[in-house]
């Protein structure tokens, strides 16, 4: 530092200095292990206050009792042992936020994990900020397009909505979440992907996938690997939420993926048991519901007078053998605005994405759809559910009326139309095209094995056209009909 600047800094410090009695609390580490530290002393400590330890470690106050306090370690050194001096910092946990985080991979404390210099962010935000009050919120009404034919037409999601992604391991939940993030390219939506307790290979694979599709240009990855301290895995979703929340209050639309909250709940159970909190159902602490509600309630759509920003949330939860009535899934179902259920049986049968329409719902419904898409989708979900019920009778060889046979045939065509490969999100104009083609019966005589080719032709022709959702129905019908006729002629 130049001499003049140093002198100016010292002079400013001397001007602010006041001679007075100062009382400093000091505690000592009683024991440490498994990511937990017990500290004796510090009677003025508050829950979720950051503690500074003499060896350079940091901890977060997690449990208070008369004799001592329990903290979860945020950073640790090899010198941390019993007897280490601890001090109160008087600060709550925060991390840097802002545009410099776009395209970066960081841990829940804001430290870089991608080998690049630390991001120089203009501001910081608390991880445990309160959710926006009711008067600051607006009705959820703008669509958030996922690029999935099933979701965008039958289970629509809106900006500011909390839509749960639920299902067994390995049935396509993460692929759907990545598709949704990739589909936000060019839509001015900032994305945050929070990886909680995932293997390093999963973190690298997620980063490389998003980078390959150009999604890292508007995405931040917050990663707490499986080998990280339990405290960091506990903080990961709150860090991702804080990053997106900063953009939301700036009037921008954001999307946060929490992958996954089952691991997060298990980490919280581990920390609670280590800190000797009374266990409840399935050994989870009694405040497990509050843990996830305080996180997901921060996702909303702000009123226009506050900028009109939004934060949409896609929490992922894992089930075992398709059982959705267990403790954590039912908690999250009650907190969120709907769920998208991935069925292992559908996945095994080759139906991809393996979304079970009978168990999936969006409580926002048509309010989150474009009026033209809502009009074309109409009763499609109800008709599809009726088809699934009718199809059961065909397995027993029952004879059906001609009208029922026609419904089954049409339902099977719709099932083929809804199939979609992973990492292939589709624009909303494509959804409009195939909806019109289906509603007009243009696919009724098409063999199921050829539907994929027809859809590919529509996608190619649509990319070369100037059709938008604002075009009239007759223009859409004429275009789709001509594309299919050209394909049949060739």
Residues 99 and 230 in one domain: yes
Count other Cβ atoms within 10 Å, centred on residue 211: 13
Q: Is 310 exposed, middle or buried (0-12, 13-18, 19+ CB in 10 A)?
A: buried
Coil/strand/helix, residue 415:
helix
Torsion angle in degrees (nearest 10) through CA of 121, 124, 130, 135 = -60
For 93-218, where are the E strands, in sequence order? 94-97, 105-106, 123-126, 164-167, 189-198
The CATH number for 434's domain is: 1.20.150.20
Same domain, 102 and 198: yes
Question: Which of residues 335, 370, 405 is at a domain's end?
Answer: 370
Sequence-distant (≥ 6) Cβ neighbours of residue 240 within 8 angstroms: 192, 193, 194, 220, 222, 256, 258
Q: How many domains does the chain have?
A: 3
Residues 255 and 366 in one domain: yes
Q: Assess whether 215 and 354 both reside in one domain.
A: yes
Q: Let me know: does 357 contact 371? Beta carbons within 8 Å.
A: no
Residues 64 and 193 in one domain: no
17 domain-assigned:
no
Q: Among 72, 74, 37, which Cα is nearest to 57's?
A: 74
pLDDT tens, per residue, the chain with 490 residues: 456 666 777 777 778 877 777 677 889 999 999 999 999 988 889 999 999 999 999 999 999 988 899 999 999 999 999 999 999 998 999 999 999 999 999 999 999 999 999 999 989 999 999 999 999 999 998 999 999 999 999 999 999 999 999 999 999 999 999 999 999 999 999 999 999 999 999 999 999 999 999 999 999 999 999 999 999 999 999 999 999 999 999 999 999 999 989 999 999 999 999 999 999 999 999 899 999 999 999 999 999 999 999 999 999 999 998 899 999 999 999 999 999 999 999 999 889 999 999 999 998 878 888 899 999 888 888 888 888 888 877 776 667 777 888 888 888 899 999 999 988 999 999 999 999 999 988 888 888 888 988 899 999 999 888 899 998 888 999 999 998 887 665 5
Q: Residue 309: inside a domain, yes or no?
A: yes
126 forms bridges with which residues in the sheet? 94
Do 339 and 405 lie in one domain? The reply is no
Q: Do 347 and 455 reside in the same domain of the chain?
A: no
Q: Which residues are annotated as catalytic?
A: 363
Q: Answer yes or no: do 122 and 157 share one domain.
A: yes
* 82 in Cβ contact with 44 (< 8 Å): no
Reduce the DSSP state of residue 116 to 3 states and report it. Answer: coil
Say whether 238 sits in a helix, a strand or coil: helix
Does residue 14 sit within a domain? Answer: no
- Sign of torsion, CA 301 249 128 106? positive
Range of the domain at 78: 25-92
């Amino acid at each position: 530092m130049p001499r003049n600047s140093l002198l100016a800094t010292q002079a400013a410090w001397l001007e602010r200095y006041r001679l007075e009695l100062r009382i400093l609390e000091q505690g000592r580490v009683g024991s440490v292990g498994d990511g937990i530290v017990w500290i004796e002393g510090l009677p003025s400590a508050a829950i979720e206050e950051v503690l500074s330890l003499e060896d350079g470690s940091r901890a977060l106050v997690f449990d208070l009792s008369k004799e001592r306090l329990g903290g979860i370690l945020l950073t640790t050194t090899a010198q941390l042992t019993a007897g280490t001096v601890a001090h109160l910092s008087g600060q709550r946990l925060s991390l840097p936020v802002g545009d410099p985080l776009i395209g970066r991979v960081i841990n829940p404390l804001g430290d870089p994990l991608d080998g690049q210099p630390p991001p120089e962010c203009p501001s910081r935000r608390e991880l445990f900020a309160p959710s926006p009050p009711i008067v600051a919120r607006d009705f959820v009404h703008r669509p958030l397009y996922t690029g999935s034919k099933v979701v965008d037409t039958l289970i629509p999601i809106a900006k500011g909505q909390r839509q749960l992604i639920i299902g067994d391991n390995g049935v396509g939940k993460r692929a759907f979440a990545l598709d949704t993030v990739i589909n936000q390219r060019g839509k001015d939506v900032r994305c945050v992907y929070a990886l909680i307790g995932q293997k390093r290979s999963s973190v690298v694979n997620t980063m490389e996938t998003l980078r390959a599709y150009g999604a890292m240009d508007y995405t931040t990855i917050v990663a707490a690997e499986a080998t990280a301290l339990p405290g960091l895995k506990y903080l990961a979703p709150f860090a991702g939420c804080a990053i997106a929340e900063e953009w939301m209050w700036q009037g921008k639309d954001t999307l946060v993926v929490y992958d996954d909250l089952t691991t997060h709940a298990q980490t919280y159970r581990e920390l609670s048991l280590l800190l000797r909190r009374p266990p409840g159902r399935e050994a989870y602490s009694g405040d497990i519901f509050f843990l996830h509600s305080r996180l997901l309630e921060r996702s909303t759509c702000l009123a226009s007078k506050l900028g009109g920003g939004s934060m949409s949330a896609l929490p992922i939860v894992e089930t075992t053998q398709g059982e959705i009535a267990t403790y954590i899934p039912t908690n999250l179902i009650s907190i969120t605005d709907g769920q998208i259920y991935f069925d292992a049986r559908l996945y095994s049968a080759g139906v991809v994405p393996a979304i079970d329409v009978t168990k999936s719902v969006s409580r926002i419904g048509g309010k989150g759809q474009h009026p033209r898409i809502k009009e074309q989708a109409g009763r499609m979900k109800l008709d599809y559910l009726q088809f699934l019920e009718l199809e059961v009778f065909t397995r027993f060889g029952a004879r059906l009326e001609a009208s029922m046979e026609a419904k089954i045939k049409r339902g099977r065509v719709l099932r083929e139309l809804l199939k979609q490969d992973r990492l292939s999100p589709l624009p909303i104009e494509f959804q409009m095209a195939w909806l019109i083609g289906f509603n007009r019966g243009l696919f009724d005589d098409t063999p199921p094995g050829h539907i994929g080719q027809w859809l590919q032709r529509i996608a190619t022709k649509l990319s070369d056209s100037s059709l938008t959702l604002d075009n009239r129905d007759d223009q859409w019908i004429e275009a789709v009909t001509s594309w299919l006729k050209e394909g049949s002629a060739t």
